[in-house]
């Protein structure tokens, strides 16, 4: 009976781990969207505006430094990402734009923002490197 209890607990842990893994399906961005280049210049004036947009719309979940540790992060499912990581910065600007604009699961879409505002947020995300 004791062995059954241990096996049952192992099964529960495995199923729980698998459910978390399923929440983390790869975020597939269409190739045409991946290839889009940021049309907004990365300069001092745009960077200032980009930071304002990020602080208004992204900081609550992703945190001030993009570490996924904002005040709303604990209530979100899945990995919020680390905007300072090499893995994050390996994405194209088009991928970041697509993900920001369209969202998925707990990540809301930001279609309420103009394309220029989303491109500006991509500029700021690029500034959050380790």
Q: What is the CATH number of the domain that holds 35?
A: 1.10.760.10
> Is 103 contained in some domain?
yes
Q: Which tokens go with 68?
A: 């996924």
Give the pLDDT confidence score for residue 79 in this predicted structure.
Answer: 83
Domain-embedded: residue 61: yes
Domain count, the chain: 1
Whether residue 15 is contained in a domain is answered as no
Digitized pLDDT (tens) for each residue of the chain, 130 residues in all: 666 445 444 444 444 334 344 456 899 999 999 999 999 999 999 999 999 999 999 999 999 999 999 999 999 888 888 999 999 999 999 999 999 999 998 899 999 999 999 999 999 999 998 6
List all residues 6 or more positions away from 43 whose beta carbon is below 8 Å from its beta carbon.
Answer: none
Q: Name the residue range of residue 44's domain.
A: 31-127
pTM for this model (two decimals): 0.80
Give residue 11's pLDDT. Answer: 42
In a domain, 25, yes or no: no
Instruction: Identify whether 11 is part of a domain.
Output: no
pLDDT of residue 83: 95
* Residue 83 falls inside a structural domain: yes
Asked whether residue 52 is domain-assigned, the answer is yes
Q: Which of 24, 59, 42, 55 shows the shortest CA–CA distance to 93?
A: 42
- Is 9 among the domain residues? no
* Per-residue model confidence (pLDDT) at position 21: 42
Q: What's the pLDDT at 2?
A: 62
* CA–CA gap between residue 76 and residue 58 (Å, rounded): 13
């Amino acid at each position: 009976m004791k062995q059954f209890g241990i096996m049952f607990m192992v099964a529960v842990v495995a199923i729980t781990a698998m459910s978390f893994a399923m929440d983390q399906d790869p975020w597939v961005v269409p190739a045409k969207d991946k290839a889009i280049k940021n049309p907004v210049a990365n300069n001092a004036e745009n960077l200032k505006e980009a930071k304002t947009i990020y602080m208004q719309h992204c900081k609550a979940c992703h945190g001030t430094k993009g570490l996924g540790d904002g005040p709303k992060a604990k209530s979100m499912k899945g990995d919020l990402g680390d905007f300072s990581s090499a893995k994050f910065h390996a994405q194209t600007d088009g991928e970041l734009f697509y993900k920001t604009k369209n969202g998925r699961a707990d990540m809301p879409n930001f279609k309420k923002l103009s394309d220029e505002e989303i491109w500006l947020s991509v500029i700021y995300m690029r500034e959050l490197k380790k």
